[in-house]
Amino acid sequence: MPLSSPAAATERPSATLVPFPLRPALVPSHLRSRDLQKRLMDAVFATRSLDVEAQDVATKRVAARLQILGFVAIEEVAEGGRTRRLRASEAIEAEPGLPWRLSRAEGGVFAG
């Protein structure tokens, strides 16, 4: 039997090597969360207040975390324009029914 040439061996795909597509490294969720928190906090501090739409649940969750840490205050805006300040426990469990207004917390976490 004649031996195959080295060129013929390189033309056939190897059964032991499987190419995998390269993917960008995933950013851990806690780093993404920190980035979102920082961006939201920067926006609130720059504009003094920020309105959040009623259905924007992701932003509301980040805002609730920032309220627990004492960085922002959250007010629920009723249809007539009346506002009611939410406690941290209320903000975490809030339904997406009413829009919120975020502002810089005055005096920290324990301010009334």
Specify if 73 maps to a domain. Answer: yes
Specify if 74 maps to a domain. Answer: yes
The residue range of the domain holding 99 is: 29-104
pTM of the model: 0.67
- 67-82 pLDDT, tens digit per residue, is 999 999 999 999 898 9
**88 close to 68: Cβ distance less than 8 angstroms:** yes
- How many structural domains are present in the chain? 1
- 12-66 pLDDT, tens digit per residue, is 665 676 667 777 666 666 667 788 899 999 999 999 999 999 999 889 999 999 9
Specify if 18 maps to a domain. Answer: no
User: What CATH number does residue 94 fall under?
Assistant: 1.10.10
Specify if 89 maps to a domain. Answer: yes
**DSSP states of the chain as a string?**
-PPPPHHHHHHSPPSS-------PPPPPHHHHHHHHHHHHHHHHHHHSEEEE-TT-HHHHHHHHHHHHTTSEEEEEEPTTS-EEEPPHHHHHH--TTS-EEEEEPSS-TT--
Specify if 94 maps to a domain. Answer: yes
